[in-house]
């Protein structure tokens, strides 16, 4: 009978196994998910476990990293989750016999949890709890929480494990390949957080190779803390869809020595590692154990592995808030949307922006592929407008076309280009646009993107990893006051404000009744409104917007007025806009004008007749 695992931790370093997926690939069992082989090919799973035991592993991780029902549902296997996990423990038990501990491996759900994504926290915790209950009943010796990029999700898994069992828990987070993060204070903050929540062993696995892993562990070290480290075998290359890793057993062994000297108790390999890597790590561990006790004491002042340092901090002026943000609440603001043309010729945008800048407009709205039409990048065009004209932009960014990595990269790029005012939208699906066969991404919705920008304003990315210098975005969102399901729209707006939205732009409104209804329901949110006003050009224009554009509603009375307006239709459209804006002005922070058909000259006329003075720039 093996020593109780918690007592075993006190006796010194423990060698864990290596990758299961890598070995299944090598043996030509590439089918996904890996866990399906617990049912279809148990012999090969057991063979891999036995090879790790023969290589010297003292801990076998069950083939269940993706074994929660939410992850298995992606392969239509959620109804077999219990069977898959139970068989995994039975297979590992046979291979381990009395030579190794069996760790119940639990990985992330593969979905973004609220408030970033749509997965409810309780649903994720329930999935973890159900999986862990099966693993515990089947007879694991400990629970291994691994490969969690989100500390928030790791918390849910750890809480679930604590609810289910008093078995030892190893909690491991993955860290980005980032020298500044790995050599900073963030890893030790993560370790302290997980220890406070009840983990027995804390550490890191996957994502980074042994050199970066050493930087993490060196930062995490604290007297009396049991640390784990399971680095990947370097960074893979893809060949015919298969990940190939290049770090040799000798290289991994070299850093095993460094990790042990840095105070690691549980050590092993992750993606790309094989029994050959574990065998070399075993040899290094035996050499380490043979050293005199004084030489085995953690040396945390040793020179860290080379890391990529962040560049020197940029000047404080680059992180200042925008003029638009500084004026919000202090004067009535005006922003104007320009009609982005196809192709490369943006002269109409530049000319329009210059004209409006001279007219005292505060910002130019640049849309992001509205209605899924192919147009120049809103970020590039916004930077061009600001550079060429001096007026600030309110840059729209949609979640449709980019995944969460790309969206955050765009935000960093926008900030570096001097863009500070951002309006986040989910965006229209691609099937309504120029390329209906294109893929709509929607990793996150506008609320998730707002939360990302809010995190960056605090100096962190969506997963809570430090980004160095914080950003300084003014975060805006949109609302449709005439939404068919108004309660649903208000619920979405509340989520946006809770995520960090500081300013709300409305879809075009035409009457005080609609605005007053919106104000009544948004008053408690304490967020300023930019009133959307789109002057109508005629009866056809009104009917087109009302009947063919999603989210647009033109009141019946206004459409009737246009039917008899004849040649005075344009003048009528301006009159309606002026009258409405004059009434609405005391109740909103500013106006968001959308002049149709590039008729930018009507902007100063509407503002003047509505009694809104502007501070001209020239």
**Whether the predicted pLDDT of 209 surpasses 80:** yes
Spatial distance between the Cα atoms of 327 and 421, rounded to a whole number of angstroms: 12
Task: Give me the architecture of the 5-296 domain, per CATH.
Answer: Alpha-Beta Barrel (3.20)
Q: What are the residues whose beta carbons fall under 8 Å from the beta carbon of 435, sequence distance 6 or more?
A: 372, 374
Tokens of 332: 């009535």
Whole-angstrom distance, CA of residue 35 vs CA of residue 26 = 16
Mean pLDDT (whole number) for 464-475: 92
The whole-number average pLDDT for the span 498-513 is: 95
Residues written for the chain: 618
Under a CB-based contact definition with an 8 Å cutoff, are residues 168 and 6 in contact? Answer: yes
- Residue 244 phi, psi dihedral angles, 5° rounding: -115, 125
> Of 115 and 426, which is predicted with more confidence?
426
Q: How confident is the model at residue 303 (pLDDT cuts 50, 70, 90)?
A: very low
How much is the pLDDT for 615?
66
Q: Exposed (0-12), middle (13-18) or buried (19+): which is 118, by Cβ within 10 Å?
A: middle
pLDDT digits (tens, 9 = 90+) for 412-431: 999 999 999 999 999 887 77
Is residue 88 predicted with pLDDT exceeding 90? yes
Q: How confident is the model at residue 613 (pLDDT cuts 50, 70, 90)?
A: confident
Can you read off the two tokens belonging to residue 115? 């408030």
pLDDT in tens, 361-408: 999 999 998 877 889 999 999 999 999 999 999 999 999 999 999 999
Domain 335-609, CATH number (from 3.20.20.220, 3.40.50.300, 3.90.79.10, 2.20.25.90): 3.20.20.220
pLDDT tens for each residue of 331-360: 999 999 999 999 999 999 999 999 999 999
The string of pLDDT tens digits covering residues 39-79 is: 999 999 999 999 999 999 999 999 999 999 999 999 999 99
pLDDT at residue 146 greater than cutoff 60: yes
User: Please, are residues 416 and 467 in contact by the beta-carbon 8 Å criterion?
Assistant: no
The pLDDT score that the predictor gives to residue 242 is 73
Round to the nearest angstrom and report the end-to-end CA distance of the chain: 86
User: Max CA-CA distance within the chain?
Assistant: 99
What CA–CA distances, in Å, run from 295 to 35, 255, 262, 290, 291?
42, 17, 11, 10, 6
Question: Do 244 and 337 meet the contact criterion of CB atoms below 8 Å apart?
Answer: no
Residues 6+ apart with CB under 8 A from 18: 52, 57, 268, 269, 270, 273, 274, 275, 277, 278
pLDDT for position 208: 85
Dihedral of alpha carbons 199, 204, 206, 210, sign: negative
Average pLDDT on 452-469 reads 91
Q: What is the mean pLDDT of residues 546-564?
A: 85
Q: For 235-266, write each residue's pLDDT tens digit.
A: 777 666 677 788 899 999 999 999 999 999 99
Q: Given this model, what pLDDT does residue 183 score?
A: 52
List every span in the chain annotated with CATH 3.20.20.220. 335-609
Q: Which of 520, 450, 522, 443 is nearest to 479 (CA)?
A: 522
Q: Please say whether the beta carbons of 429 and 398 come within 8 A.
A: no
- Residues 6 or more apart whose Cβ sits within 8 Å of residue 161: 106, 128, 132, 143, 145, 167, 169
pLDDT surpassing 50 at residue 313: no
Rounded Cα distance between 192 and 5, Å, is 21
pLDDT in the model for residue 436: 80
| 448 burial type by CB count under 10 A (0-12 exposed, 13-18 middle, 19+ buried) | buried
* Residue spans in the chain of domains classed CATH 3.20.20.330: 5-296
* pLDDT above 80: residue 89: yes
Q: Kindly report, residue by residue over 58-68, the tens digit of the pLDDT.
A: 999 999 999 99
pLDDT band with cut points at 50, 70 and 90 for residue 299? low
pLDDT at 319: 66
Mean pLDDT of 133-147: 98
- Does pLDDT of 304 surpass 70? no
Sign of CA dihedral 326, 328, 334, 339: positive
List the one residue out of 448, 428, 311, 321 whose CA is nearest residue 374: 428
Q: Do you find a cis peptide bond into 617, omega within 30 degrees of 0? A: no
Rg from Cα positions in the chain: 29
């Amino acid at each position: 009978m093996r020593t109780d695992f918690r007592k075993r931790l006190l006796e010194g370093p423990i060698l864990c196994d290596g990758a299961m997926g890598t070995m299944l690939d090598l043996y030509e069992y590439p089918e996904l998910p890996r866990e399906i082989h617990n049912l279809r090919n148990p012999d090969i799973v057991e063979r891999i476990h036995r090879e790790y035991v023969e290589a010297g592993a003292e801990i076998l991780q069950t083939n269940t990293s993706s074994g929660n029902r939410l992850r298995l549902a992606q392969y239509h296997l959620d109804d077999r989750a219990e069977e898959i996990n139970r068989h995994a423990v039975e297979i590992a038990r046979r291979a381990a016999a009395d030579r190794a501990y069996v760790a119940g491996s639990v990985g992330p759900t593969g979905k973004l949890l609220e408030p970033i994504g749509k997965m409810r926290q309780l649903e994720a915790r329930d999935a973890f709890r159900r999986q862990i209950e099966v693993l515990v009943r089947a007879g694991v010796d400990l629970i291994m929480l691994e490969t969690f990029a989100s500390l928030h999700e790791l918390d849910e898994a750890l809480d679930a494990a604590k609810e289910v069992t008093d078995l030892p828990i190893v909690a491991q987070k993955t860290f980005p390949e980032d020298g500044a993060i790995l050599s900073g204070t963030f890893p030790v903050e993560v370790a302290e957080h997980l220890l406070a929540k009840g983990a027995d062993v804390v550490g890191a696995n996957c994502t980074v190779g042994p050199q970066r892993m050493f930087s993490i562990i060196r930062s995490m070290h604290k007297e009396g803390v049991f640390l784990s480290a399971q680095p990947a075998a370097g960074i893979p290359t893809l060949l015919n869809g298969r990940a190939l890793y290049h770090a040799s057993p000798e290289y991994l062994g070299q850093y095993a020595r460094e990790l042990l000297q840095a105070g690691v108790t549980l050590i092993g390999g992750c993606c790309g590692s094989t029994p050959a890597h574990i065998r070399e790590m075993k040899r290094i561990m035996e050499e380490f154990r043979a050293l005199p006790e004084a030489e085995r004491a953690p040396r945390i002042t040793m020179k860290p592995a080379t890391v990529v340092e962040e560049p020197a901090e940029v000047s404080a002026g680059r992180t200042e808030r925008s003029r638009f943000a500084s004026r919000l609440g202090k004067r009535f603001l005006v922003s104007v949307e320009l009609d982005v043309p196809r192709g490369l010729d943006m002269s109409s945008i530049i000319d329009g922006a210059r004209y409006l800048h001279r007219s005292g407009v505060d910002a130019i709205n640049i849309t992001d592929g509205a209605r899924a039409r192919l147009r120049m990048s809103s970020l590039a065009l916004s930077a061009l407008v600001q550079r060429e004209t001096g007026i600030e932009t309110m840059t729209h960014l949609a979640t449709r076309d980019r995944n969460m990595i790309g969206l955050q990269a765009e935000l960093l790029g926008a900030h570096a280009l001097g863009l500070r005012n951002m309006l986040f939208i989910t965006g229209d699906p691609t099937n309504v646009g120029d390329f209906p066969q294109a893929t709509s991404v929607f990793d996150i919705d506008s609320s998730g993107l707002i939360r990302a920008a809010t995190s960056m304003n605090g100096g962190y990315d969506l997963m809570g990893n430090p980004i160095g210098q914080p950003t300084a975005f003014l975060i805006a969102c949109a609302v449709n006051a005439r939404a068919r399901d108004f309660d649903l729209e208000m619920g979405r707006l509340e989520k946006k404000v809770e995520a960090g939205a500081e300013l709300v732009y409305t879809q075009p409104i035409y009457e005080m009744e609609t605005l007053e209804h919106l104000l009544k329901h948004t008053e408690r949110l304490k967020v300023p409104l930019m009133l959307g006003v789109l002057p109508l050009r005629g009866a056809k224009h009104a009917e087109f917007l009302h009947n063919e554009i999603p989210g647009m509603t033109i009141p019946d009375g206004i459409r009737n007025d246009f039917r008899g307006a004849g040649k005075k239709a344009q003048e009528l459209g301006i009159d309606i806009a002026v009258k409405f804006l004059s009434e609405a002005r005391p109740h909103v922070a500013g106006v968001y004008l959308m002049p149709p058909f590039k008729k930018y000259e009507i902007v100063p006329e509407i503002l003047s007749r509505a009694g809104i003075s502007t501070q001209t720039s020239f």
